[in-house]
Structure 1
Amino acid sequence: MRRAWLVIVAVLLGALPGAPAAAGRDPVGRIMARMTLEEKVGQLFATYAYGAHATAPAAADAALNRAAYGVDTPAQLVARYHLGGVVYFTWSHNLDAPAQIATLSNGLQAASRVPLLISTDQEQGVVVRMPAPATRFPGAMALGAGRSLPDAYRAAQVTGRELRAVGVNQDFAPVADVNVNPANPVIGVRSFGGDPTLAAAMTAAQVAGLQHGAGTSAAAKHFPGHGDTDTDSHTGLPVINHTRAEWERLDAPPFRAAIAAGVDTVMTAHIVVPALDPAGDPATLSAPILTGLLRERLGFDGVVVTDALTMEGVRQKYGDDRVPVLALKAGADLLLMPPDLDLAYQAVLGAVRGGELSRARIDRSVRRILTLKHERGILTAGPVDPAAAARTVGRAEHRRILQSVTDRTVTAVRNDGGLLPAAVRSRRVLSTGAGDPAGLAATLTARGASATALPTGQQPSDAVTAQAVTAAASHDLVVVQTSNALTDPAGPQLRLVRALAATGTPVVVVAVRDPYELAQLTEVPAQLATFSAVPAAMVALAKVITGEVPPRGRLPVAVPPAYPYGHGLSW
């Protein structure tokens, strides 16, 4: 199987344009020869800046930049620290409309002597940064359910083309973690699934789609594998107790596949894996993991980027002045979002001047970063066209690909009694629960149903549950969506579903995020999983419920104790 997916990826890479040209006469070396130490150290940092405009942010954003960095504008931040990259977020007010994002990107590039990596986390599914009209796919686990490498490639290609159109040249995706822990609070549906072979094939296909289909740099994350934890590294330091053999079997294959597919970047995880480094350091700061495993054993010589250094998982053992130095000593190249940029920048400069880090070590990382920029055409790219960005993002062709891909991801888990497919024309359907009941109701209404939406959210009160039960009595069919219901195993979402099942009205339950709660809902004989509540998933769900398309997905994770990996029904 491993050889089969490598052949598929090789065919994809050989058949499609976009592979970088030969480097020629060391343009990276020529740039480095003109750089000061301060500029080289700046290349090792990527962080965020506040504002929708590079040189004229809103007054509130200028105040935030002053508080964080002592400058008013994103352009001033880039120039002061000679940054290697900038990261876009909605909360830092970078992302509004396509033309605005493109203009911001152009302004930032104009402020930088060396062209920037401009990055964001457009994983799709539950982690997206670009707002509408950006094409929003249902995410990794849905693609894993669909089992289609061409679909995974196309989803990444569309995503990458829309990012590149607005000047974003690096996507912190795909997620290469193998989600083998149903209690995982931070990965879950961000993973392609619980089987390393499936995750490896999908990871490689998305790397190819981003890089060779769209010319956008990809980053496989989170090395050495964040799929078996019940702690969120944003708020704590997870410990993964896989043996070395288990790591080789479960966690390593997707990263091997990403490297074989030519991935530009690998992102580190703030996790402790004692079998890989008995010192107890998080992987981001571990030389045995980043140098010993990633560089030497897996043979990766691209850019290693840390996960955000603001996260608690990397800050528990060492101070914020030591973390960036230790990450570089471990083998990282690009330091992402230190909590105090000036402290981190000065700490690295001090470590070089004091001899803890050699200039040769800094040069190795700078060369990797500049090589990535050269091979992706970033060093020679001109400004992007804001008008073209507006035409590209969310274009009709992309929406057609989106719906076609999403239609193949819905998974039928249970259909006792043959309730599905259901004739809904002229029938009264109650669409309720978490997720997007209103979106599903609108889609069912467009197909002739008389559909009513009653959203309850993820914490429905007793009063809301009673309202839904009362409404069910006057409807012919109830479709109830669940999302992360097992965060409270005796909680309100499960009580809502069980109360609806007890009404006697036929009920379909749909897990629109992790599917694990379906095994607990034995009262409901009709069960589906979409792994996402994006609008395209609601359309696909309606098509499956009505029989317009058959369910084609298969579970990409085991749902114990009821449903094994690979389970899926059709009609």
Structure 2
Amino acid sequence: MKTRLAIASVLVAAVGATAAPVPGRAADPPERSGEHGWVTSTLRHMSLEQKVGQLFATYVYGADATEPSAADRAANLAAFGVETPAEVVEEFALGAVCYFSWSHNLDSPRQIATLSNDLQRAALGHGGKGAVPLLISTDQEQGVVLRMPAPAAQFPGSMALGAARSPQAARIAAEVTGRELRAVGIRQPYAPIADVNVNPANPVIGVRSFGADPTLVAELTGAQVTGFQAGAGVTSVAKHFPGHGDTATDSHTGLPVINHSRAEWDQIDAPPFRQAIRAGVDSIMTAHIVVPALDPSGDPATLSPRILNGVLRGELGFRGVIITDALNMAAVRQRYGDERVPVLALKAGADQLLMPPDLRLARDAVLRAVSSGELTERRIDESVRRILTLKHRQGLARSPLVDAEKAVRIVGAPEHLAAVTRVTDPTLTAVRNDAGLLPLPRTDRSVLVTGWNTAAFTPIETVAAGFTARGARATARPATLPSDAVIAATAAEAAGHDLTVVLVNKAWDTTITDPRASQQRLVAALLGTGKPVVVVAVRDPYDVAYLPGVDAYLVTYSYTRAAMDTLVRALHDELSPRGRLPVTIPTPDGSAVLHPYGHGLTW
């Protein structure tokens, strides 16, 4: 696929009149009661080492702060030189911890709340005026980026919300998500995504974006900032500044270059961040991308004073906390050594330094930079003051601990799960129904459900169970990135069924691993049986361009159980698809539009 800048320009022309810039500088946030006194007093009593520790946010291994598993002890020792999560916090006087499933932090509401409380106790130590509570974070974007496991409310992601076109739904999703996170001690969700995905070949953003229309993305970004902050009382993080939506390079593995002109950046990338700032967003995350129109030096935005201090703070008037994207990503490590990156990020204007590949090396590099005069302690104080202010506004100075029993009642509460269904139902998008196959009658038919699957959500099994509950004889046959032998066997099995439903996930993208093309071959083989086939994209809507001959094609944008339930009900005419494409789907060579922005069928 080619970058669809031409398509984006058409969209901008259509909506540009409503994407007016904000005034040059936003007003200072109002003083909270006691905020200035606590921040000033705490800062005054902190040592330089404590101040520098506040700048860092990192992962820790283990579900228990003081008694992790043997494997997690070994992982902490290798990464940090100490064995337990509590010791990591104490050793580095950490300002923030970020939870992940792969670091074994997220199991159940009670476990997460208990871990949060024990890490807060480690941060506060024996008390004292220099003790500072932690800011605990996670990437709970929803959709395809979910950290909190069930029973937590699992909403559709950003592009699904873009398909629904509802700021109210976007706000509800953020508010419920934020309330559940706060209940377990997580005060800083790294969301929403403010990137405008105008490049169908974007391997890292895609459905994590609300869509390709800057005005739509801005509207829903602002709604989610309000939902997180005013609704749930957690810190929203708009990401990834100055805009990661038009790249075919993954910043985890390479350094993307965004070749938008300054005028294009103003029209395409800037509006969601301007809207987030209007909505009072507390934090903005940087992108490891090069934008020559904003800074011709070749440095990624994370390390660019022109972009962070010049554009974000100077032009857009942002006064909150700037957090870097993860510093262990390849894009930010290409030009400078790991010991230089955190220093350069601080010099550029960043406040929080996320996940350096070697925390001790990074911490010591910042301390040496202060000792040598490359960084002043006054500069460190500026960032620490912003971080302390954020923590005070989160209520952490007053009550850093949470009630684990209350968390059990809040996370996955019936009203939250009901909200998931209400928000998910309008997102399903029917793109093709050329032969009039849909909706399906309830009948005693034989159905094969196959294609992409994941053990975490079991979408194949969920869809098959939905058919069975409606009187069909359904067989679940996962075929994730199938071999040629599996494709042949699956097609032979499909020939003996009345209907096949096949799920695909990023079938267009063969750049990461060639077996993804096997999804294209699977769909072709199923169509070759001559039996009816319904294709469902459980991630990117762009897959249809690579699946010639498909008559029935729907997009769920994610593979949560709620999304699969909505799909099954729509297939059986229990609800009507209401989603509209929030992106344009081009032909594979990018020369024409296959399905336009706003397209969507119903019945």
Question: Does structure 1 residue 347 correspond to structure 2 residue 379?
Answer: no
**SS of equivalent to 1:486:** coil
Q: CA deviation at 1:76?
A: 1.6
Q: CA deviation at 1:84?
A: 0.8
- Larger deviation: 518-527 or 298-307? 518-527
Among 45, 51, 56, the alignment partner of 1:34 is 45
Count of residues in correspondence between the two structures: 558
> What one-letter code is carried by the residue in structure 1 that aligns with 2:98?
V
Partner Cα separation in structure 1 for residue 209 and residue 416 of structure 2 = 23
Distance 1:456 1:277, change over 3 A: same
In the other structure, the counterpart of 2:11 is: none
Among 441, 445, 449, the alignment partner of 2:472 is 449
The correspondence of residues 127-146 of structure 1 with structure 2, limited to 5 A, is: 127-146=145-164
1:46, 1:335 within 8 Å by CA — same for their partners in 2? Answer: yes
Among 345, 352, 355, the alignment partner of 1:327 is 345
In the other structure, the counterpart of 1:440 is: 463
> What one-letter code is carried by the residue in structure 2 that aligns with 1:466?
A
In the other structure, the counterpart of 2:7 is: none
Q: CA deviation at 1:424?
A: 3.2
Question: Does structure 1 residue 482 correspond to structure 2 residue 508?
Answer: no
In the other structure, the counterpart of 1:68 is: 79
Partner Cα separation in structure 2 for residue 414 and residue 513 of structure 1 = 16
Structure 2 runs not aligned, ≥5 long: 1-14, 21-29, 124-130, 454-458, 587-592
In the other structure, the counterpart of 1:468 is: 490
The correspondence of residues 45-84 of structure 1 with structure 2, limited to 5 A, is: 45-84=56-95
Distance 1:456 1:91, change over 3 A: same
2:19, 2:271 within 8 Å by CA — same for their partners in 1? Answer: no
In the other structure, the counterpart of 2:5 is: none
Q: CA deviation at 1:388?
A: 1.4
C-alpha distance after superposition, 1:15-53 (max 9, x if no partner) = xxxx99445553211111111111111111111111111
Distance 1:223 1:541, change over 3 A: same
C-alpha distance after superposition, 1:43-85 (max 9, x if no partner) = 1111111111112222222222222212122112212211110
Partner Cα separation in structure 1 for residue 19 and residue 34 of structure 2 = 29
Q: CA deviation at 1:158?
A: 1.3
Distance 1:344 1:197, change over 3 A: same
- Larger deviation: 359-368 or 378-387? 378-387
Q: CA deviation at 1:5?
A: 10
Structure 1 runs not aligned, ≥5 long: 7-18
1:5, 1:201 within 8 Å by CA — same for their partners in 2? Answer: no
Q: Percent identity?
A: 63
Question: Does structure 1 residue 565 correspond to structure 2 residue 576?
Answer: no
TM-score of the two chains, using structure 2 as the length reference: 0.90
**SS of equivalent to 1:487:** coil
2:16, 2:267 within 8 Å by CA — same for their partners in 1? Answer: no
> What one-letter code is carried by the residue in structure 2 that aligns with 1:564?
P
Q: CA deviation at 1:351?
A: 1.0
In the other structure, the counterpart of 2:545 is: 519
Partner Cα separation in structure 2 for residue 3 and residue 82 of structure 1 = 48
Partner Cα separation in structure 1 for residue 540 and residue 193 of structure 2 = 16
TM-score of the two chains, using structure 1 as the length reference: 0.95
The correspondence of residues 158-557 of structure 1 with structure 2, limited to 5 A, is: 158-435=176-453, 436-457=459-480, 459-488=481-510, 491-557=517-583
2:120, 2:400 within 8 Å by CA — same for their partners in 1? Answer: no
Among 166, 170, 174, the alignment partner of 1:156 is 174
Q: CA deviation at 1:178?
A: 0.8
Q: CA deviation at 1:341?
A: 1.0
Partner Cα separation in structure 2 for residue 211 and residue 517 of structure 1 = 35
1:273, 1:283 within 8 Å by CA — same for their partners in 2? Answer: yes
Q: CA deviation at 1:393?
A: 1.3
Q: CA deviation at 1:98?
A: 1.0
In the other structure, the counterpart of 2:589 is: none
In the other structure, the counterpart of 1:12 is: none
Partner Cα separation in structure 1 for residue 466 and residue 273 of structure 2 = 39
The correspondence of residues 48-127 of structure 1 with structure 2, limited to 5 A, is: 48-112=59-123, 113-127=131-145
1:480, 1:510 within 8 Å by CA — same for their partners in 2? Answer: yes
Partner Cα separation in structure 2 for residue 114 and residue 382 of structure 1 = 10
What RMSD in Å do the two structures reach over aligned CA positions?
1.7
Partner Cα separation in structure 2 for residue 391 and residue 312 of structure 1 = 41
C-alpha distance after superposition, 1:347-396 (max 9, x if no partner) = 11111121111121111101110111111212212421111112211121
**Which structure 1 residue ranges, 4+ long, deviate > 6 Å from structure 2?**
1-6
